[in-house]
């Protein structure tokens, strides 16, 4: 099941990339006619947006997890650093609250783990067309977790606490939402973003 969902997520990212290539082909500059083009100018961008994602977690190798994420992104450097005519970029800060549930059952032994992670990340949005962007994100978070099993064994170590947040994703702006797919160090997320 994990591989099917992973393939589905990669397929969605590929479809978004192909759609952006088609948009970029329509906007190709005709060198012979002397026309010029400017860098993409996304309609809304990700400033002041709330994202909701469903997640397939794979952080704990003993069991597959499912979860949900809520994010808020605020652009802090709207002009970015790339001075190319074909790409525009911006930097944002993204706060997130992620919830994951993992469970496992084998030979009569079962356990479950629930975790809430609060994090903040820097996001670098790279706009290849007016609608399509890719981004990396890096940050730190803190996880709060609870563990239970059917034998009353003690809670294992290594869960919750300070955590590194990293990942990459793609965005595709539609009106009035933005589709979002993201692969992080702990999950594959698919969802939508809404402008405030």
Residue by residue, pLDDT tens for the chain (196 residues) are 333 334 344 444 444 443 444 444 444 443 444 445 567 777 678 999 999 999 998 755 556 689 999 999 999 999 899 988 889 999 999 999 999 888 877 788 788 888 999 999 999 999 999 999 999 999 999 999 888 888 776 565 557 889 999 999 999 999 889 999 999 888 899 999 999 8
Q: Tell whether 145 is covered by a domain.
A: yes
Rg for the chain (alpha carbons), in Å? 20
CA dihedral (168, 174, 177, 179) positive or negative: negative
Task: Look up the domain containing 141 and give its range.
Answer: 55-125+135-154+184-196
In a domain, 148, yes or no: yes
* pLDDT score, position 33: 44
Do 54 and 189 touch, CB atoms closer than 8 A?
Answer: yes
160 assigned to some structural domain: no
**What are the residues whose beta carbons fall under 8 Å from the beta carbon of 78, sequence distance 6 or more?**
45, 47, 90
Phi, psi of 14 (to 5 degrees): -65, -40
As for how many domains the chain has, the answer is 1
pLDDT at 148: 82
Which secondary structure element, helix H or strand E, spans residue 119, and what is its range? strand 109-127
Please indicate, yes or no, if residue 34 is contained in any of the structural domains: no
Residue 164 lies inside a defined structural domain of this protein: no
Query: Model pTM?
Result: 0.75
Task: Say if 188 falls within a structural domain.
Answer: yes
Calculate the CA dihedral of residues 76, 78, 172, 174 and round it to 10 degrees: 100
Report pLDDT for 38: 66
Query: Is 79 a domain residue?
Result: yes
Residue 141: name the closest of 174, 178, 170, 115 by CA: 115
């Amino acid at each position: 099941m994990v591989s099917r969902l992973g393939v589905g997520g990669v397929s969605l990212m590929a479809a978004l990339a192909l759609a952006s290539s088609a948009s970029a082909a329509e906007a190709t500059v005709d060198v012979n006619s002397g026309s010029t083009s400017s860098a993409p100018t996304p309609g809304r961008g990700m400033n002041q947006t709330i994202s909701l994602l469903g997640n397939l977690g794979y952080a704990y190798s003993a069991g597959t997890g499912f979860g949900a994420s809520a994010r808020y992104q605020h652009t802090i450097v709207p002009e970015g650093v790339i001075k190319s005519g074909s790409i525009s970029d911006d930097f944002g800060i993204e706060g997130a609250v992620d919830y994951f549930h993992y469970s496992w059952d084998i030979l009569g032994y079962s356990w479950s783990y629930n975790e809430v992670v609060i994090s903040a990340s820097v996001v670098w949005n790279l706009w290849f067309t007016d609608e399509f962007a890719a981004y990396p994100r890096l940050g730190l978070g803190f996880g709060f977790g609870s563990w239970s099993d059917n034998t009353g064994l003690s809670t294992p170590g290594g869960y919750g606490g300070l955590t590194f947040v990293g990942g990459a994703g793609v965005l595709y702006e539609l009106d009035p939402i933005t589709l979002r797919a993201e692969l992080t160090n702990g999950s594959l997320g698919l969802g939508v973003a809404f402008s405030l």
